[in-house]
Amino acid sequence: METPQAKMHPNKEAFIEGVDLILGRWTALELAVQNEWGGADVHEKRDDMVDEIVEHVDKLVAKRKTPEPTDLQELLLDILETDFQVSLDDGSEAEVARHLCAIFAECKAGNFSTVDKLAEEREARERSGAAASAAGMSRRAEQPQGGSGGSDGSDSSDGSQDGSDSDASMQE
Identify whether 91 is part of a domain.
yes
Orientation of helix 92-108 relative to helix 69-84, angle to 10°: 120
- Residue 52 and residue 102 in one domain: yes
- Residue 75 and residue 131 in one domain: no
- Residue 107 and residue 127 in one domain: no
Identify whether 54 is part of a domain.
yes
- Residue 81 and residue 65 in one domain: yes
- Residue 16 and residue 99 in one domain: yes
Q: How many domains does the chain fold into? A: 2
- Residue 92 and residue 125 in one domain: no
* Separation of alpha carbons 87 and 160, rounded Å: 37
Identify whether 146 is part of a domain.
no
Asked whether the beta carbons of 54 and 101 are under 8 A apart, the reply is no
In order along its 172 residues, the chain shows pLDDT tens digits of: 444 545 789 999 999 999 999 999 999 999 999 999 989 999 999 999 999 999 999 999 999 999 999 999 999 999 999 999 999 999 999 999 999 999 999 999 999 999 999 999 999 988 887 776 666 665 555 554 544 444 444 343 343 333 333 333 223 3
Kindly write down the DSSP assignment for every residue of 62-98, as one continuous string.
HTT----HHHHHHHHHHHHHHHH-----S-HHHHHHH
Identify whether 152 is part of a domain.
no
Instruction: Domain of residue 165: give its range.
Output: 113-141+161-172
The pTM for the full model equals: 0.72
- Residue 50 and residue 20 in one domain: yes
Identify whether 2 is part of a domain.
no
Gyration radius from the chain CA atoms = 20
- Residue 88 and residue 169 in one domain: no
